[in-house]
Amino acid sequence: GLFLVDEVVQYASIVSFARGGSFVVDNGYAEYGSADLRMQYLSNGPDGLVAQYPFLFTVLAAPFFALAGLRGVFLLNLLGALASLWLTWRISERLSDRRTAVLATLILLLASFLSNYAVALWPHAISLAFALAGAYCAVVAGSTRQVEPIPALAGGALIAAGIFLRLDVALILPPLAAWLVLTANRPYAKLLLAGLGMAPIILAGSWINQVKFGVFSPITYGADKGGGTSLTTHLPIIAVVAAACLLIVLWRQAPRVRRPLIGLIALLAVGGIAALPELRAAILKMAQGLYVLVVDLTQHPAVGVAKGIERDKNGIVTFWNFHKKALAQSLPWMGLLPLLVRADVRHRSGILL
């Protein structure tokens, strides 16, 4: 059954699209205007209330729902989970060997939350499949000496589509681009083709968001919703990512200046931290946030303050009664990752990715 309000909103959106081909959740709000019908995670669209979530999961889930109800939606996510396992195998085997592929696939199956999301109403499993499909295309494109358009174009299109399943799929773009620049032949041509593959999907998805939300943007929860989709709130991180991308390009294109480049970066970092209190504060805030999200979620400042975020009797953070942990708390095997520095050189490209 349905437990959380976001499940209810996802369900309502899928039912509406399956029955009438509309994103509008027609629950009587348009007729009666009662605040009780304006559930959390519903946005005001041009034609009525709509789910704040990206539209593609609703579109993909609707025929499965029409076929078998909620079990049909679970089937879609199960297919996404199976595809994710297969893609993990293919990526690992291509970058390393069969033994590594077996281990990587078993880790995803047995030591992650994939099995939970494989039979859920949320889009995590299917969005992971799209992200891994885009990553696999990047691996195929990056491993060829010549520029082959199809893998690069397909990879860009798949990741762009994944963004309209879950917005955080966009986070895979910088590391994939960096990996291609560092390891691939003719990486810029391949990245250009990936961008061309993304462009029509991004434009089409933005137009659908215009119809649904009244906002022409690929990344939005609606005109009356924030949700961290405003780029201005992420300018420090964007600046860091942009600087890192520039450094990676310089590292690839100008090997003779690598040592001076490292010295210059160190000098600028130390000088900036010493001279600019605002920079020190920003770095400290990011470091604290990283520690909380990766190491110990119990230190999160919203615990006991924000609605729904509490501690249970054992001190574990809960969000609407669901246990929440930091990344390393959830996946303790990550503590073994430093041992990868001793891996054989033939695994280097895969480890870097």
Residue 217 and residue 233: Cα distance in Å, rounded? 16
**CB 144 within 8 Å of CB 150:** no
Q: Which amino acid is at 27?
A: N
pLDDT tens digits in sequence order for the chain, 353 residues long:
677 788 889 999 999 999 999 999 988 877 777 877 888 788 888 988 999 999 999 999 999 999 999 999 999 999 999 999 999 999 999 998 899 899 999 999 998 889 999 998 999 999 999 999 999 999 999 988 889 999 999 999 999 999 999 999 999 999 999 899 888 889 999 999 999 999 999 999 999 999 999 989 898 888 666 555 566 666 666 777 777 777 777 777 777 766 777 777 777 777 766 777 777 777 788 888 889 988 988 888 888 888 888 988 888 898 878 888 888 888 888 787 777 777 776 677 777 77
- Which pLDDT belongs to residue 319? 84
Six token digits for residue 85: 């396992």
- Which pLDDT belongs to residue 86? 98
**Residue 274: strand pairing partners:** none
- Which pLDDT belongs to residue 232? 62
**Secondary structure class of 4 (helix, strand, coil):** coil
Alpha helices in the chain (DSSP H): 5-20, 29-32, 55-68, 70-95, 98-110, 114-117, 124-143, 149-163, 173-183, 187-213, 235-253, 258-275, 277-294, 327-330, 348-352
Closest-CA residue to 27 (of 17, 36, 37, 40):
37
- Which pLDDT belongs to residue 315? 84
Interhelix angle 187-213/124-143, nearest 10 degrees: 160
Residue 140 and residue 352: Cα distance in Å, rounded? 15
Residue 96 and residue 346: Cα distance in Å, rounded? 7
Positive or negative, the CA dihedral 67, 71, 73, 74 is: negative
Q: How far is CA 2 from CA 19, 40, 189, in A?
A: 19, 15, 47
